[in-house]
Amino acid sequence: KNQVEQSPQSLIILEGKNCTLQCNYTVSPFSNLRWYKQDTGRGPVSLTIMTFSENTKSNGRYTATLDADTKQSSLHITASQLSDSASYICVVNPSSNTGKLIFGQGTTLQVKP
C-alpha cells in the first residue's frame, strides 16, 4: 500500500474554474509535506512546504492545507489557467535527516479553454 495516496488520479476542468486535489498519507514520523508541480517531461517544481504545525500555506493561486491529525492535505487552485495543466504531486518528508522524500503518484490536471 502506498504511503502517500492522491485523488483524483486525473481531473479535467475549464479555464477559470477552481479545483481541489487531495492527499492522504500514512507516513510517520513526519517532518514536512510538500506539493510539487511537474510538467510533462520536466522535473518537479516545489509549490509549497508545510511542517506539521502549519495548517495552510499559499503561493499565488495555489493554497495548500494540512491536517496532521487526520493525515490529510489538499491543494486548491484558484482561477485555473491553461498553464496549470500538469501533474501535481504530494510529497512527504518523513524525517528531517534523510533524503527520502516519499512521493505520491500525482494527480494529472488538464485545463481546457
Partner 1 sequence: NAGVMQNPRHLVRRRGQEARLRCSPMKGHSHVYWYRQLPEEGLKFMVYLQKENIIDESGMPKERFSAEFPKEGPSILRIQQVVRGDSAAYFCASSPQGSLNTEAFFGQGTRLTVV
Contacting residues toward partner 1, per CB under 8 A:
2, 4, 31-32, 36, 41-46, 49, 51, 89, 93, 96-106
- The least CB distance from residue 89 to partner 1, in Å, is 7
> Which C-beta is closer to partner 1: that of 45 or that of 82?
45
Contact between 10 and 107 under an 8 Å Cβ cutoff? The reply is: yes
Residue labelled with grid coordinates 499565488: 60
> Which C-beta is closer to partner 1: that of 32 or that of 80?
32
- The least CB distance from residue 35 to partner 1, in Å, is 13
- The least CB distance from residue 57 to partner 1, in Å, is 13
Helix, strand, coil percent values for the chain (each to nearest 5): 5, 55, 40
